[in-house]
Amino acid sequence: MKSKKILPYLLAAVLAVLVPTQVYAVDFDITDVQIDAQLNEDGTADVTERFTYAFEDDFNGITRGLIAKEGTSIENFTASENGKALKVEMEDGVYQVFRAGEDDETIEIELNYEITNAVEKFEDGAQFYWAFFDENNDSEYGDMTISVIPPLPADEVEALGYEEAANTERITDDGTAVFELGAVPDGENANVRAIFEPELFPDAAARGGTVRDDLAQDREEQENEAAAFAQNQQTARVIAIPAIAILGALLLGGILFAWIRTVRRKRQIRNYPYEFFVPKESMSIPALLHFTNSAFLTPNAISAAILELMRKGNIKQVSEDHFELINRKTDHAHEETLIELLFDFIGGGREFTLGQVEQYTENELNHPAYNEAIAEWNKNIAAEVKAKSFYEKHPGLRWTAGILSAVFIGLAIYTGIYALFPAMAAAIVLAMLAFGFAIAYAPITFDGLEIRHHWRQLKAAMQNLPESQWHALNSDDQQRAYAYLLGSDPKTAERKAAAFTSANTAADDSSFVMNPIFMTAIFVSAGTTTASASGGTAGSGAGVGGGGGGSGAF
């Protein structure tokens, strides 16, 4: 049954998107194919093929692979368009038809060739049994019709299609066997088989034995397969559809419950009465930025981290451009990494300047070391956040969702095999939903939500905070608050720089950096410079009746 093949097509399409295996030089569609095989009294077949190509790119021509089955041969291959002959070359068993054109052009090419010994003449009938394409074909056909025409009108005609051609056959009044395949995917086999009276082929070589019983047996097998398929389809409908509905309801109910629980927790925290304050120190400023603002830290966060190191007394600012190392002993691994980058890689060991940062990053040879250090810095910041255990684990719930995902995948395969396409689509969606839930579900703890809420409120409040309220804070709170603002909202930090930062001299160890916006611009430029230089990481014939081939373009 053709419908049983939907699953391989689906999987192939997914793999084609996820794992590209080749790049086509020309983008095209074959919208219509008409193949007429005119059988002759001597057992040869004169084949006329008309292909309609719709091109989306400029092109040089089309290709046609033809594979003759044993005992036959392909002769006198020609091509034409509107009666005008086209140049043809053969290379590695593939005919190349030269007909150049531009994008958005639709053409109809006619191919003609002869198959010798195409008809096998038995005692009770003469059969034409052929595959005009096989699994080696790389192109889809939009609408295909194959006609097998006897030398003279015939009365005792039998026809049977196999695989993609199954259940497509009909016989006309004059005895022509017509196979209306319709749309044909790439990479599939199809055989057409037609049996006529042997008297119609007096000049064809005769052989012993019969053939009609063999065709009747194949037809009976197809009918039995169709009946078994229908029975199994009904079983799948009875079992799989209720299972998808019940398990889907359980999954959606669980996700809804988890979502309501999280919303209630957030609502409880949002209802806290608010008065401006700087939250107590629970983690470093870079870790706060990672947790409350974005896991992808921008170069602004480096400036915030430097302010943090100044606040802790590890770094002293000598001038607007010049920094001195006071103490290497730090609280966190990411602070040690940043000190190593600034003072050991870029500076002279005990000091560095912003000018040295520019010089260092302008040299492309230094980009790998700079990027590796920043990556390690980010990694260590993430490790600090992870150590706080702000995310709930829920292993049982996530494992349950993972198992449900596997069950839904199995149900999608089961329903896809038996052509229950709406159920298959629902199972695929539910499988993706369950898998995403199993991977991503890690709600923030109540403490984590409180910290995130308080710092985000502080950032919002600082956009329009009166200077008097700012100056009422102690120096430590001012430095932590401004460092957080600088890393999370540089525009507000720039606008508030004059009011929020101190104009004290460099001799005052508690002073802010004199121009944090200038420092931030240096690291933004360094990040852009180093990032811009980084790089990213014909067949043998598979037809049952023999023959095969495919189509393409170049």
Helix (H) or strand (E) holding 247: helix 212-270
CATH no., domain 25-210 = 2.60.40.1730
pLDDT at 263: 87
Q: pLDDT band at residue 295, thresholds of 50, 70 and 90?
A: confident
What is the C-alpha radius of gyration for the chain, rounded to an integer number of angstroms?
Answer: 37
Q: Which residues contact 531 (CB under 8 A, 6 or more apart)?
A: 371
Query: In whole angstroms, what is the distance from residue 520 CA to residue 300 CA?
Result: 5
Mean pLDDT score across all residues of the chain: 85
Tokens of 175: 């005895």
| Identity of the amino acid at 514 | M
The 10 Å Cβ neighbour count of residue 494 is 15
pLDDT at 335: 94
Tokens of 311: 């606040």
Of residues 135, 98, 486, the one with CA closest to residue 310? 486
Cα–Cα distances (Å) from 334 to 187, 388, 479, in that order, read 53, 15, 19
* Residues 133-156: tens digit of each pLDDT: 888 888 889 999 999 999 999 999
Based on the number of CB atoms within 10 Å of its own CB, is 22 exposed (0-12), middle (13-18) or buried (19 or more)? Answer: exposed
* Residues 487-519: tens digit of each pLDDT: 888 887 777 777 676 534 333 444 455 567 788
Tokens of 74: 């392909």
In angstroms, how far is CA 328 from the centroid of its own chain? 46
Query: In whole angstroms, what is the distance from residue 97 CA to residue 380 CA?
Result: 61
- Collapsing DSSP to helix, strand or coil, 206 comes out as strand
* Residues 342-400: tens digit of each pLDDT: 999 999 889 999 999 999 999 999 999 999 999 999 999 999 999 998 888 888 888 99
Range with lowest mean pLDDT among 38-47, 92-101, 170-179, 512-521: 512-521
Q: Which residues contact 395 (CB under 8 A, 6 or more apart)?
A: none
Query: In whole angstroms, what is the distance from residue 263 CA to residue 98 CA?
Result: 65
Is residue 18 pLDDT above 70, yes or no?
Answer: no
Burial annotation 524-533 (CB, 10 A radius, 16+ → b, else e):
bebbebbeee
The 10 Å Cβ neighbour count of residue 359 is 12
Tokens of 450: 């409180």
Q: What is the mean pLDDT of residues 40-46?
A: 94
Tokens of 159: 């026809």
Of residues 211, 209, 208, the one with CA closest to residue 219? 211
Q: Which residues contact 26 (CB under 8 A, 6 or more apart)?
A: 55, 57, 58, 59, 553, 554
The 10 Å Cβ neighbour count of residue 108 is 13
Range with lowest mean pLDDT among 73-82, 113-122, 134-143, 235-244: 134-143
458, 279 Cβ separation under 8 angstroms: yes
* Residues 427-440: tens digit of each pLDDT: 999 999 999 999 88
pLDDT at 541: 52
Provide long-range contacts, Cβ within 8 A and 24+ apart, for 218-221: 218/160, 218/162, 218/193, 219/160
Burial annotation 432-443 (CB, 10 A radius, 16+ → b, else e):
ebbbebbeebeb
Q: CA angle, corner 157, sides to 152 and 158, nearest 5?
A: 150
Q: pLDDT band at residue 326, thresholds of 50, 70 and 90?
A: very high
Is residue 15 pLDDT above 50, yes or no?
Answer: no
In angstroms, how far is CA 535 from the centroid of its own chain? 21
Query: In whole angstroms, what is the distance from residue 218 CA to residue 129 CA?
Result: 13
397, 441 Cβ separation under 8 angstroms: yes
| Identity of the amino acid at 440 | A
Give first-to-last CA distance, the chain, whole Å. Answer: 34
148, 116 Cβ separation under 8 angstroms: no
Of residues 389, 390, 392, 387, the one with CA closest to residue 332? 387
Domain ranges of the chain: 25-210, 272-392+443-532
Q: What is the mean pLDDT of residues 300-329?
A: 90
Helix, strand, coil tally for the chain in percent (to 5): 45, 25, 30
